[in-house]
Chains A and B, each alone.
Chain A
Amino acid sequence: MLRRINDFVTTLPFWLIAVTMAAGGIACIVGCMLWFGATFDYTLQSVLTGSILLGIVTGVLGCFVTLKRQSLVGDVLAHAALPGVVIAFLIAGSGLSVLLVGAAIAGWLGLQVVSLILDTTRLKQDTALGIVLATFFGLGISILSYTQGREDAGRVGLDKFFFGQAATILGSDVLIISGITVIVLVIIIAFWKEFTLSTFDPEFAMTNGFAVRMYDLLLSSLVTITIVTGLQLAGVVLMAGMLVAPAVAARQWTDDLGEMVILSAIFGAIAGGLGAMLSGIGWGRPTGPMIIALAAMITFGSLVIAPARGMLWDWLQRWLDRHRFETENLLSDLYRFAERNQKKDYVLEEKLLIGLRGWFAYIGLRDLQRNGLITRKDSGWALTDEGYSRAEAEHQKRVQQQNQENA
């Protein structure tokens, strides 16, 4: 039974998984709306569309970012954006679009410094990311303390910067997000080969004439634009998480990059859409944290139940292996005693078998009995005719193998 479940699940076709997930997601979102009677008004429409689109974009970009082992990139961006926000505030005053431009420039600059460090020093990627994260954030904090003296200091809007304010999303914002979604998807599709090769094997890509550094720059620029656009929705720290969670979840379900990207986009869209909807009906007011919580749940679920790579199937596989191993051992135990005593249906005490093989033998014995290979006799077990010939065949095979190895 368990073996059949295992075989079934590991051979599920990808499209079935993808369609099921997408349908499930849509059903959840629509169901939520109908069940709780949310009014599908302008605000909800805008927030919902914006969240779904951003989920898709971060999902797609996140695949390449995590595969490049740059999961921290989002966090670096988030922290590196701070000095940009504060400086933009000092120069041009508060106003979300101004702050976003500042964030984008500083964040982008931060990522380029990371590339520079990697190109010119021997430092490893995680170190470079850590250095930039800390210095830029520190710089931001020190400039921020300078603004505290000013009268309008309270209006820097740092709370929005960190946690977002989804309810303020307008139709015009959705238009911008749609534009970015289209641009990102077109670029990823157009340069699919280039992005694949330069994330998998950059040196080989270079020897084939690909401008790897340009594609790195392109990717980090797209990531910056996406994260900064998402600022308003979910806040910078949470956007960073959206870059990692859907991609990690999607990796669990497939061994193909194209499938991973599609699934990651679906996961991102589900987290974004459902998060916005739940927050819209009044659960968890701030939309950003709700979206991230859902994305985290999808990731955790995938780590556990995804076929082949999931923990659950790992355990199941080990359990099934152990099962087979134990039954084979029991069979050979019974055979050995039968041979030694020159009696095909020699009865071996159950207590002795358990003593030899541990408590797992109970399961093995039941298995063998069900398959008609052994039968119960008083307080012990004996081979049936079928069981004896099976055990004999396996014994012969082992002997042959040993002879081959010795030869």
Chain B
Amino acid sequence: MQIDTKNAIQIENLTVAYRGKPALWDVSLTVPEGVLMAIVGPNGAGKSTLIKSMMNLVPRAGGTIKFYGKSYRQMRNSVAYVPQRASVDWDYPTSVLGVVLMGLYGQMGLFQRPGKKQKALAMEALEKVDMADFSGRPIAQLSGGQQQRTFLARALVQDAQIYLMDEPFAAVDAVTERAIVAILQELRSRERTVLVVHHDLQTLQEYFDHAALINQELFASGDIESTCTPENLRRTYGGQFMGWLAGEQ
């Protein structure tokens, strides 16, 4: 337990169930401020559910979640969300800039249309993900990696304290992977707290400084070296992990 740093997120005894089957069981997790934390675990371990339950997108059976000691409802404007790329219809009639501007809708009043100020902010976010040249492109014409970077820009434009990202690295090209990593570094340099659902154990230690190992229960969490020990990974992944470990050594 780190005592002298502020905790960005404090989850206590979180339980989420789908039709009586627990998806998350009694998870207590502390995320210190300013860390890059990977949420790691096998398929169906409840990683996305954890992130969604933090934003009240799935009902929880029990437990509390606090952001800097406050509820999500109070802190909503300080939390930015990057959903899974496949969760929307990319044939929607809008441009890359249009999607990024959506990140600012919550801060705008009734009848208000995005103006110069909002567009400038959106372009700034697009430059950070190397997509400024594509701002006018219909989103139907984007590649998977470009879609992911557009989603990332939409979250960046919100300039939040806490970022929750659901599998941003899933099936993206090398350019996009590098862009995302650069963004993560930049967010850390600005003391932002970032939670990322991550799949790739190979790049885990390279990209992140903290990790939480989840498979319905929380198996371990904390800084990356002490958390991602072979022993902890084996316990989290059960049998699935043995093959990977054997291949590695």
Contact = CB atoms under 8 A, between A and B. Distances in A.
- Among B52, B105, B111, residue most surrounded by chain A Cβ atoms (within 10 Å): B105
A203 B87 contact: yes
Interface in B138-196: 138, 140, 154
A394 B69 CA distance: 65
B76 A208 contact: yes
B1 interface: no
A248 to B, nearest CB: 12
Interface string B79-101: 10101000111001111001100
A288 B148 CA distance: 45
A255 B79 contact: no
Of B57, B83, B99, B106, the most chain A CB neighbours within 10 A belong to B106
B246 interface: no
Contact size range, A: 20 to 34
Nearest to B111: A190
Interface in A89-130: none
A69 B92 CA distance: 11
A189 B105 contact: no
B108 interface: yes
Given A207-B57, A209-B106, A255-B93, 6 more contacts: A205-B105, A207-B79, A210-B106, A251-B93, A256-B95, A256-B98
A106 to B, nearest CB: 30
B78 to A, nearest CB: 12
5 contacts: A189-B111, A190-B110, A203-B52, A204-B83, A207-B55
A193 B57 contact: no
B93 A256 contact: yes
A348 interface: no
A197 B114 CA distance: 13
Interface string A251-281: 1001111011000000000000000000000
Nearest to B57: A203
B11 to A, nearest CB: 17
Given A67-B89, A69-B89, A207-B81, A200 B94 contact: yes
A386 interface: no
Nearest to A68: B89
A133 to B, nearest CB: 23
Contacts of A209: 76-77, 106
Contacts of A194: 105
B93 A193 contact: no
Nearest to B54: A207
A214 to B, nearest CB: 14
B131 interface: no
B152 to A, nearest CB: 13
A189 B95 CA distance: 19
Contacts of B108: 193
Interface string B103-120: 101101011110000000
B102 interface: yes
B94 A208 contact: no
Interface string A186-213: 0001111110110111011111111000
